[in-house]
Every structure is written in C-alpha cells, then in structure tokens.
Structure 1
Amino acid sequence: MKFIRNSLRFRIVVTFIGIVIVSLVLTFILQNDAGKNTPNDAMAAVVEDVAALIHLIDDPEKLQSSLQIFEKYGMNITLVNKQSEVLAALPEEQVQALFEPGRTKAVIFNNKNGTAAVGVPGGTGMDAVLMQNDFAPLFHTLRERLLTSLLTVLIIGSLLILLMSRFIVKPIKQLTAAAQKMSSGDLTVRLKYRNHDEFGELMESFNQMARELQKIDSIREDFVSNVSHEMQSPLTSIRGFTKALQDGVIPPEEQKEHLEIIYEETLRLSRLSDNLLRLASLDSEHHPTSFSSFQLDEQLRKIIVLAEPQWSRKDLNMELELLPCTIQADEDLFDQVWQNILGNAIKYTDAGGSIYVDMRESPSGVSVHIRDTGKGIPQEALPHIFDRFYMVDKARSSSLKGNGLGLSIVIKILKLHECTIDVTSTVGEGTEMVVTIPRKRLSS
C-alpha cells in the first residue's frame, strides 16, 4: 500500500481524477443554478404574438379549440381579468401592473417551483392573456442528462489518464533503472529517447553526465596506473640495490656509485610526491593563493640564474630580452611555471644548443616567449603534452628523470591566474612556448 502511495503514476492519476471531480461538481452546481432561471424573455415575445392572435378570434368555440391546440405544446393559456382566481397565486404587484391602463408590454411573473408565467395586457374592455408553462420536468430531465454526461466524462477521462500515465512515468522508470546500473559501477549505460521535450532534455543530460563520469573514471584509472608505475620503477631500483648491498655482492669500491643511484631514485620519488601534492592542491577549489605585485622580468632573471648549473653543464647559449613589467599574481606559483618550462627547455635541448627568453607587450597584455633549439615535439603529440603523465618519448624522459607532471602543473597555475599558454614545435628544430598574461593582471 505504501508503494502505491509513493508511486508517481498513482499520484498523477489521483490528482487528475480529483481535478476532474471538482470541475464536474462545480459545473453541475453552476448549471443547476442557471437552470432555475427560465427563458422568460423569449417566452414573453411568444406570448405577445399568441395574445395578438387570440384577440383576433371572435368565435368562443374557435378560441377554445385554439387554446387546446396550444396546450398540446405545453402552453397553458388562460384569459384572465382582475377577479380571476388563477392570479391569486401570483405576486400582487405584478398582477396590478398587468392591468395598468395603457400598458401593452408583457409582464413576467416571478417563477415558483420551476413554473414560468407571462401575462399580456388585453387592452380596453378585453381580458388579459396569461400563459403558464411548467419547466420542472424539462429541467429534471436536463439535470439527469447533465449528470450522466459528467459521470461518463469522469469515467472515460480516468481510464484514459490511467493509460497515458504509463507513458508519462515510463521515462522516469528508465532513468531510475539507468541510475541504479550506474550506481553499481556500469558507466556505459545510455538512455535512448525520441522526443526532444523536457524528458528528452533530462535523458540527454543524464547521458552527458554518464559520458563525463566514464571519462573521469578512465582518467582516474590511468592516473592510478601511471602513479603506480612511476613509483614502482624507483622503488624497484632502491630495493634491488639495497638488497645487493645488504648481501655484500657489490664490491666496496662500487658501493658509493650504487648509493648515489639510490639517492637519485629517492629524489625522483620526492619530486613525484611533491608534484602530486601540488596537483591535488591546485585541483581543489580552495587552493591557497597569495596575490602580490612583483617584477616579472626580475623573476625570470632569478629563475635563469638558479638554473645556471644545468644549462652551463650542457654548454647552452642563453639569450634574454626582457621588459620592465610588474604583475599581480602569486609569485611562488609563477616561480613553478618558469622552473617547469625552462627545465623542460634545458632538459630536451642538446649540448651546444640555445634557449631564447623574451618578453613582448601587446594590447591584450604581456607575453613571455621561451624558445629552444631542442629535438622538438611531433604534431600529433602537441594536444596531449599538458595531460598528466604524458611523455612524448617515455624512454628518453625516464633517462632524464621526468614524470610527465610538469606541464600539467603549469596549465593549472596559468588557468588559476586566467593566463594562457600556446605551444608551437617542429621536430628537429625546437619548441616555443608563449605564456600570455592578460592586461588586468598588470600593475600600472
């Protein structure tokens, strides 16, 4: 019973039937009240014409025959004067009006018990004509037919809504079944629909949600797989070398070299952990940011100086062309942006190559161009370089201690500051990354 009460279909049917019943009851009451008012105005015109005909008949027998003919059609016509007993049942004021001198218009008497009465003055020396018609049987028949019609409408309407409610509730049942499948882990479920009404829009929204959840689940699986792989590789190295050192299979003169490898692998794990924590923080809507004014050109110089050991070791040519520029941003986060971009440029540029850093001003803001003469990125890989753990050449990136998170952090930080980054690259010639800072981030 509780299930029936909680059923949407049951509530739709009950609501419809309730509305229909209330509407029918009100209609019946209004029609019943309207039926109490007989059509006296139209009847008055008929009686006036009948009275004119009667006054033209001089023969009493013919007059009586005519009255009998009218009586067959429900018209009870009587010739009356002031002393007629039939007038005693009618309102006195209206009776007096019927016999006013000079009156020619019909007098409509108040209805009693569904009986309509209309009198027509007879004129000088002539009796008045009174016609009475009992509409009660007619109104009773009409009320019965009206009630029968309303009940028929109620029954037919209830049956139709009972059938149609199935089609109304069907999409909701489909949504419920699909949601239950999705909650059990099946993210491939999709809803089919024909109509583009509100239910169609709801089903399309559900399908869109399912596609996004499936995409997020795929990203999550890839993310877990990549993190596991990135952690497993250094851990395997650390475990293998420590076991070898523990068992004494490595000669003492080679132990320092192996300890350095273990140390480098721990640094690799530390970098991976730091990057994962930073990404998790940037993904949250409550990442702590500290906006302040600072010199962008001085920040770039500082980052390049800090990276000097890396680019000097590879004998890279570093060329700068910077403009004085003050911006409003989180200085620590922008440090991370330049470190990651310049770190990639240094890492993937062969010894003796060049890196160019220059700033340009435009109506939209300030752009920082960082170009290298490295190996370059294939065109098919460009759309994916900001994906987490994506590496163009995994074997080469692994040897260069990369984990594919640097540019993911860069794009997160730039979006947080409403900045953009564009990448162009040619295999064998190098790569250029352009970071555009909007004018609203510039300090006057």
Structure 2
Amino acid sequence: MRNKFRNVLVPKQFLFRLTFINIMVITVFVGLSSWAIYNTACVLADGLVSMSNQKQAQFEATLFQYLWIFSISTITIGCLTHFYLTKKLIHPLRELIYSTKKMKQGEYPAPITGKTEGEIGELISHFNDLVKQLEVNEQNRQKIVSDLSHEFRTPLSNLSGYLQALQSGVIDGDEKLYQSLYVESKRLIYLVEQMEQLKEWDHISSQSFSKKSPVNMKNLVEQSVEMFHWVCRNADIKINVDVAPSVIIVNSGAIAQVISNLLDNAVRYYEGTGPITVKGRNIESEYEFCVTGPGKPISLDAQERIFERFYRTDYSRSRELGGSGLGLAISKEIMEHHRGMIGVTSKENKHTFWFRLPRK
C-alpha cells in the first residue's frame, strides 16, 4: 500500500520539483534585474539632479519599496502561471501513469481523452491503440480457449464412457465401435494441434527469420505436397502440381510452413468437385505460389479479414473442421518478415490463396 501511494505521488513530486526550480530561476532573474534597475536609477538621479542627502535617501527608499512590490508581484504571478500551465501539461501524463497501473493489475482502462497535441498527444494516441489491441487479443484468446475447452469435453466424455463400458464388460467391442473411438481420438489430436498454434503464434511474432539460405522453390513445394498425399488419397481429392524451379534466399522452414498452411486450408475446406491446383511461377522480380480449390463461397468482408488473428469464415464448422484462426495469420506474419505479400482471390466457389516472394 505504501509503494502504491508513493507511485500515485510521482507526478505531484515531479510537478513540485519543476515548479521549485522555475521559482528559483524566476526569483534570481527578477532579483538581479531589480538590483540593476535600482542602482542604475540611483546613479542617474544623483547625476542629473542635485539633491540633498535627505531627498536622495527618500528617493532611494521609495524606489526600493516599489522594486520590492514589483519583484514580489512578478514572482508570485509568474509562479502561479507556471504552476497552472505545468499542471495542465502534466495532467495527461498522470492519466497515462494511472492507466498503465491498471494494466499492470490486469485491467483494461478506458481510453485517455483530451485535446493534447505534440509528442504527448501522439504517445497517448498510441497508448490507446495498444490498450484496444491488447483487449481484443485477450478476448479472442479467451474465446478460442473456451471453444477448445468445450470441444475437448465431448470426445473425452465419449472415450471415457466407452472405455469404462468395455473394461467392465457391459458392451463388446466391434469394428464400428473402434472406428468411432478412433475418430474421437483424431478429434483430440487435432484440438491439441490448435492449442499448439496459440503458442506458435507468439513464437512466430518474435522471430526475425534472419537465418536464410538459397532454396529451390520447386523442391520445397513438392516436399510439402507429398506430406498431404495420404490425406488427399483418403478424402479422394486430386492435387495437380505445376511448379517452376526458382532459387530464392528464404528461411526454408518458415516458407514450408506457409505452404503447408495453405494446402491444409484447401484440403480442410474442400467442398465440391475438381482437383486442388498448386502452381508456382516466376513473375519479373518475384516468385508467385498459388493454391486453388473448390469450397464454400467467401464473402468480400471475409476475404478482407481472413488473415486476421483468430478469424474464422464459418464458425458453425469450427467443432469438426474449423481451425483456430491462426494458420493464415501466422502465414501472413512470416510473409511480412520475408518482405513478401499474401492474399486470396475468390470467384463463387473457387478460391485461390497465393503469396509472392522477392527473388533477390
């Protein structure tokens, strides 16, 4: 409590110290000016007009009295004006400190208002944006954790109930039952992968991917596609690959992850007929990679937001097929670290996810 009280007084202490220093400066300046004016006036009066010693002493006393009044009035008015202006200037900083303390306590303060200009105004504007973004991120994290917790509960209850029944001999196992248990176990594995993506997002955001080396994109794409061969075969999905060779200096692991994310997205949301087409080509100073496949129509709003963190185009499918909304966001983050671009083009039920990388 004592430390908290001391922290609250920091702006006041700063205000008092600054005011005290300025009072000292004003006092010294006014004092020296008054002393110079006083001596100059006495010398001029003595030289220009011949006065008796009594009149000279009376003149000096009157002048000294007026200078005292002038000095005290100037110092008082100057200090009060300075204190008011300094307090008004520091007020936004006091609000900023108060809001920062609330954030340390796990709360999200209301935006700091006020018509503050200059560097302080810019700082407060950035602080308000930061608080808003952190609050949105926290809400999204809580939502995805809540969704995952709810989704874990059903398969775990099913597995626990059937395994207990098998153990006690209440039911006998058959092929259909084991297939259902296998499907439930796959759901659990997938949910764990989604939770891993939450941790992966923080890791990706802090990486600079400075370790880069020449990579042949044709080989990298073919290796990534091969990883989806078994999944596509079971789902009866055909993949056509047409990739031109090109050597680019990139972080191979990060780019392979982007390719896998786009392929996984195409396979997971595959809906309709026709193959998934994978293309890679050289365009002037860039290399373009595209994954095209059929799926549900994507609205213009969804196309603009699909690379945002935690965003999912179809929440109704989230429990069975939906992702955590991080895969595409991670891909965008990796592209930005490589000074590349990523996007989506959609026409009815045919969607193309693409990225471009500079070849030099």
What TM-score results when the alignment is normalised by the length of structure 1? 0.66
2:24 corresponding residue in structure 1:
18
Query: Which whole-Å CA distance do the structure 1 matches of 2:254 and 2:197 have between them?
Result: 13
Answer yes or no: is 1:282 the counterpart of 2:288.
Answer: no
**1:282 shift after superposition:** 1.2
Which residue matches 1:220? 141
Amino acid paired to 1:412: E
Equivalent residue pairs, number: 352
The CA deviation string for residues 162-194 of structure 1, in whole angstroms up to 9 with x for no partner, is 565654554444444444544444424233324
In 1, distance between residues paired with 2:357 and 2:250? 10
How far apart are the structure 1 equivalents of 2:357 and 2:119?
43
Deviation string 1:199-226 (CA, Å, 9 cap, x unpaired) is 5445434433332332233233224323
**Contact (CA 8 Å) 1:303, 1:338: kept in 2 or not?**
yes
**Aligned partners of 1:403 and 1:164: how far apart in 2?**
51
Q: Offset at 1:296?
A: 0.5
How far apart are residue 394 of structure 1 and its match? Answer: 4.1
Identify the residue that residue 256 of structure 1 maps to in structure 2: 178
Output the amino acid matched with 1:23: F
2:51 equivalent to 1:7 = no
Separation in 1 of the partners of 2:348 and 2:248?
34
- After superposition, residues 32-431 of structure 1 pair within 5 angstroms as 32-35=38-41, 37-38=43-44, 137-161=58-82, 167-168=88-89, 170-196=91-117, 200-254=121-175, 255-285=177-207, 290-350=211-271, 352-396=273-317, 398-400=319-321, 402-428=323-349, 430-431=350-351
Structure 1 residues 218-244: Cα deviation after superposition (integer angstroms, max 9, x where no partner)? 233224323424443443343333233
1:438 aligns with 2:358: yes
The structure with higher relative contact order (CA 8 Å, sep 6+) is 2
Match of 2:3 in 1: none
Question: Contact 1:421–1:434 at 8 Å: present in 2 too?
Answer: yes
2:36 maps to a residue whose letter is: L
1:376/1:427 contact within 8 Å kept: yes
Q: Secondary structure at the match of 1:249?
A: coil
- Secondary structure of the equivalent of 2:292? strand
The Cα offsets for residues 347-406 of structure 1, whole Å up to 9 and x where unpaired, read as 333475122222232234111122113334233322333344543334545444755443
C-alpha distance in structure 2 between counterparts of 1:306 and 1:175, whole Å: 51
2:210 and 2:150 map into 1 onto residues whose CA distance is: 31
Q: CA RMSD in A?
A: 3.7
Aligned-partner SS, 2:114: coil
Write the distance in 2 (CA, Å) between the matches of 1:12 and 1:213: 34
Deviates more, 1:20-29 or 1:274-283: 274-283
2:339 alignment partner, SS class: coil
Distance 1:280 1:16 in 2: 48
- What amino acid is the match of 1:292? S
1:253 shift after superposition: 2.2
The 10-residue stretch of structure 1 (312-321 or 17-26) with the greater mean CA deviation from structure 2:
312-321
- Partner SS, residue 7 of structure 1: helix
SS in 2 for 1:252: coil
Comparing 372-381 with 177-186, which one deviates more in the overlay? Answer: 177-186
1:39 Cα deviation from its structure 2 partner: 6.8
Change (3 A) 1:227 1:279: farther
* Letter of the 1:261 counterpart: V
Higher helix share: 2
Distance 2:204 2:189 in 1: 22
Larger radius of gyration: 1
Closer/same/farther in 2, CA of residues 252 and 235 from structure 1, 3 Å limit: closer
Deviation at 1:304, TM superposition (A): 2.6
In structure 2, stretches of 5+ residues that fail to align are 1-5
8 Å contact kept, 1:268–1:401:
no
For 2:34, the equivalent position in structure 1 comes to 28
Displacement, 1:26?
Answer: 0.9
CA contact 2:152–2:188 (8 Å) conserved in 1: no
Change (3 A) 1:36 1:190: same
CA deviation after TM superposition for structure 1 residue 285, in Å: 3.8
1-structure distance, mates of 2:26, 2:205: 55
Question: What is the TM-score with the length of structure 2 in the denominator?
Answer: 0.79
One-letter identity of the residue aligned with 1:27: S
Q: Which piece of structure 1 moves more, 142-151 or 353-362?
A: 142-151
How many angstroms apart in 2 are the aligned matches of 1:394 and 1:193? 39
C-alpha distance in structure 2 between counterparts of 1:388 and 1:233, whole Å: 26
Does the Cα contact within 8 Å between 1:315 and 1:351 map onto a contact in 2? no
